[in-house]
Every structure is written in C-alpha cells, then in structure tokens.
Amino acid sequence: METLQFLGDGFALAMQWHNLVFAFFGVLIGTAVGVLPGIGPMSGVALLIPVTATITSGLDPESAATSSIILLAGVYYGAMYGGSTTSILLNTPGESSSVVTTLDGYQMAKNGRAGAALAIAAIGSFVAGIVALVGLVILAEPLSNVALSFGPAEYFSLMILGLCAVSGLAGKSMTKALIMTVVGLLLATIGMDNVSGVARFTYNIPVLYSGLEFLTVAVGLFALGEVFKTILHKEDDDGEIAKVGRVFPTKKDLKDSTAPILRGSLLGFFIGVLPGAGATLASFFSYITEKKVSKNRENFGKGAIEGVAAPESANNAASGGAMIPLLTLGIPGSGTTAILMGALIMYNIQPGPLLFTDHPNVAWGLIASMFIGNLMLLALNMPLVKVFAKIIETPKKYLLPFIIAISIFGVYAVQFTTFDLLLLLGCGVAGYYLTKNDFPVAPLVLGLVLGPMIENNMRRALTISNGDFMIFLQKPLSLSFLIIAVLWMVIPMILKMRGKSVIINEEG
C-alpha cells in the first residue's frame, strides 16, 4: 500500500504542466534521435544534459533534477523506439539494439507492409514499456531496502561487478573494453582528494582541482565523436527509403504478434535488469527465442511480423529494466544509464538505496513520468509514422552544425570556462579515434562516474578493517559480488577460446 501511495505522489508530480511538457519533448526528441542513424540514445542524452541544466536553472535543485531526468529518460526510451524506423524503412539501424529489426522489418517494407511493421513496433514498444514499469514499481522498494543493509565493502564489490559487467559485454574486444574502463577510472582520480585534500594529476593547473567534468567528457566522446566520424568518412545515406502505405496492422498481424510481444517484453525486462547485458543482447535473445518457438520459422528473415514484434518489445523492456539497478543500487547497467546517473549526480542526487528515502519525489516522479511518456509515445508514433519517416531525409549539412552548436553552447552555459570547451573538442577527437579503432567509450564514461564512489567505499571499508583487504572476502555478499564479477569476465573468454579451438580442429 505504501508503494501505491508513493506512486500516486509520483503521478501528482509528473502531471504538473511543466513536467508533462518535459516528458512530451523528451519522447519527441528521443524518437527523432533514434530515427537519425548514428546518433543513438547515448549521444542524444549526453547532448541534452547541458540544455536541460540551462532550462531548469530557475527551479530548486530537487525540482530541477526531477524535470531534467524526466526529459532525459524520455529521450532514452523514445530513442529505443525511434531506432526501429530506419531499420524498417532504410535497412539501417538507428542504434545497435535495432540491428535485429532489420532482418524482417526491411523485408516487410519491401513487401509493401512498412506501415504494419512500424505500427507493431510502436505497439510492442508501448506494451514492453508498461511491463517494465510494472516490474520497476514492484521491485524498486524491496531492492532498495535490501541495498540499505550494504556496507562499504558490499558497495565496493557491487560497483566492481557493474564495471566488469559492462566491460565484459562492451564492444568486440574485452581487452579494449577493460583498457577503456581503466582509463575512465584514472581520469576519475584527477582533482583534489576528498579525504587528504592533496591535489592529484593537476600539474598546478587551478581548473583541474575540481576534476574533469563528466558532462563535458560525455558530450565530447559521444556527440562530437559522431560528428567527426560523419564528416571525415563523408557518410551518405544511399539506401532507398521504403514507402510507408497503410499504417494500422490487420487483425491477423495483431494476433500473430501478441505472444511475441509479451514474450519479448518479459525476456527483455529480465535481461535489462542484469548490469551490462543491455538492450542489444535482449533483442538478439528475443529474436532467437521467437524463431525457436515459432511454427513458421521458415518465414523469419523473409518478412515475419514476429521478427519485428519480439526484438522491438525486448529492447524497450530492457531500457525500463536497466532503470532498476540504476535507481535501487546506484549501478548503471549500460552506457546510457551511466550518463543518466552522471546527470543525477550533477544535481547532488545520488542514485542508490537512499534515493527512495532521501529523494522520493525524484524516484517516483520519474517512474510515474515513464508511464505517461509511454502513452505519449504511442499517441505520437501511430499517427506520425510518416512524419518521422521524413526525418530520415534530413541532410547532414543541416544536422551536423546543429549538433555542434548545441554541444558547444550547452557545455559553456553550464561550465562557463574555455578549458571545458577545449576539453570538449579534445574528447570529440578522442571519441572519433577510439570508435574508429573499436575501443568502446561507454566503459570509459562508466569508470569516470563510478571511480570516486569505488575509491570512497574502498577507503571506508579499509578504515573499518584497519587496512585489512580480507574484509572484501570475509563479507558473504561482497564475496558473492566479486565471484560473479570474475565469472562475468572469465566465462566469455573461455567460450571464445573454445570456439577458436573448435574452428582450428575443424580446419585441421
């Protein structure tokens, strides 16, 4: 009953006119971000943090944080839907989790059924969003209560697990992902040490005493990195855009896609809850599962509506599921939730078990706004499918200057230093070269966000144990988290080595 009361308070907050406006523009911008190939939810959310900070500057800190996170979360799950539009119409995924949608979505479009595919993607996204939010409401309070019993040793080990989970599943090479994680942790040490007051890696440069600003690094790596990539590679959209035609699906389409939507929603939600698993893994698993259980598996890859319904539901449910470890444990499960966590910390609001007791308005206001945002997404996307399809045709010569302008003015409006503008450009160049060489930047951002918390909890634990590192192994929960972290890293390596040995034996 207490949970329902908190949820009711959250709805009262989310229904305030300015928060409704934030939710609306969040899902609208998010859908547009998802539709534009190459930008993706991480770049979109990073790009809008300085904008929201400027807009909400007149509000008190908690109201500003609530309104900002409502808009940024709207961009996140709006982009998860928007990525399906280019996958279906252009055979070009808007972001990585929409890759699987191209397999059957584009085939449906070529068969003149683009409208039905887009409509089922919208319906699946809505159902998945509601399933994920119901799960979030049920699990949020119990999980945060469990997490309240954690000591510094448990928190340290849990954050190590979060880092290992994202590093273990990010990019093609685990080695490169681990390098980026360590770089992120090293960058997090720059500035004044909170305990001793000693300046670290500042080289007597006053502006470095406060450390590197997360906002500047994130916008540079993701938004400007993508801009440089597009300019230097002269990427053009040569694909032929399929015609949308009839938008609403037939009764048979709805019947065929009902079970895949429900299965995809449940599977996506539980995969999303796992730190580091993410929407891409959820959509792949969902597609494979649907192909195995389907009676018409020969239709997959030729335009089966189940092949659109299942992965689209899974990737949207995963984005809702990823909110659970972020809000209840303070552990971001993906690159985008790491950026959302950084945004909350900017407003002096620490995600984790104390969020629901110290800042219930922020937590429950966000959850309630996600219900409203999902309704807005459905209302927007069903009638405006053809309008969003037109966004794909936006010429790069208009889009890129707009992104650069938002990045530079947004960062300067929040930071007011020329150093941050130079850092922004430097991170943009670094982001381009890193992604070009398959170094994933999400683990770097995660390391930058979690670094200070890992260090503080490690120090507190060692203070309690008089410098004995065995405290991390003597606490049962801490030991469990560390074992899971090790397994998360070792199992993929073993599977990869076994796969290579099988190939060598076959060739031999």
**The tokens 């032929």 sit on which residue?**
240
Residue 34 is encoded by which pair of tokens? Answer: 């998802």
Distance separating alpha carbons of residues 320 and 274, to the nearest angstrom: 12
Number of domains in the chain: 1
What's the Cα-to-Cα distance from 263 to each of 85, 127, 195, 260, 312, rounded to whole Å?
22, 11, 49, 5, 11
Q: Is residue 421 one of the residues assigned to a domain?
A: yes
pLDDT at 507 over 60: no
Q: What is the pLDDT of residue 426?
A: 94
Q: What is the pLDDT of residue 464?
A: 92
| Least confident piece of the model among 95-99, 248-252, 318-322 | 95-99
Q: Is residue 505 one of the residues assigned to a domain?
A: no
Coil, strand or helix at 359: coil
Query: Can you spell out the DSSP letters for 154-213?
Result: HHHHHHHHHHHHHHHHSSS-HHHHHHHHHHHHHHHT-EE-TTT--EES-TT-GGGTT---
Q: What percent of the chain has pLDDT over 70?
A: 86
Q: Is residue 212 one of the residues assigned to a domain?
A: yes
Q: Is residue 503 one of the residues assigned to a domain?
A: no
pLDDT tens column, 8-50: 888 898 898 888 999 999 988 888 877 765 566 777 888 888 8
pLDDT tens column, 378-426: 887 767 666 666 666 667 777 788 778 878 877 887 677 899 999 999 9
Confidence of residue 91 (pLDDT cuts 50, 70, 90): low
Q: What is the pLDDT of residue 472?
A: 94
Q: Is residue 70 one of the residues assigned to a domain?
A: yes
φ and ψ of 143, to 5 deg: -65, -40
Other C-beta atoms closer than 10 Å to the C-beta of 317 total 37
pLDDT tens column, 184-197: 999 999 998 877 88
- Interhelix angle 442-464/152-169, nearest 10 degrees: 160
Distance separating alpha carbons of residues 267 and 359, to the nearest angstrom: 30
Q: Is residue 508 one of the residues assigned to a domain?
A: no
Q: Is residue 507 one of the residues assigned to a domain?
A: no
Q: Is residue 473 one of the residues assigned to a domain?
A: yes
Q: Hey, what long-range contacts does 356-363 have (CB within 8 A, 24 or more apart)?
A: 356/6, 356/140, 356/141, 356/144, 356/327, 356/328, 357/144, 359/62, 359/65, 360/6, 360/9, 361/9, 361/10, 361/13, 361/62, 361/66, 362/62, 362/65, 362/66, 362/69, 363/10, 363/140, 363/327
Distance separating alpha carbons of residues 18 and 283, to the nearest angstrom: 34
What's the Cα-to-Cα distance from 261 to each of 252, 267, 294, 382, rounded to whole Å?
14, 10, 13, 17
pLDDT at 166 over 90: no
Residue 234 is encoded by which pair of tokens? Answer: 């002269």
Rounded to two decimals, the pTM is: 0.73
Q: Which domain holds residue 226?
A: 1-498
Which of 143-152, 176-185, 192-201, 272-281 ranks highest by mean pLDDT? Answer: 176-185
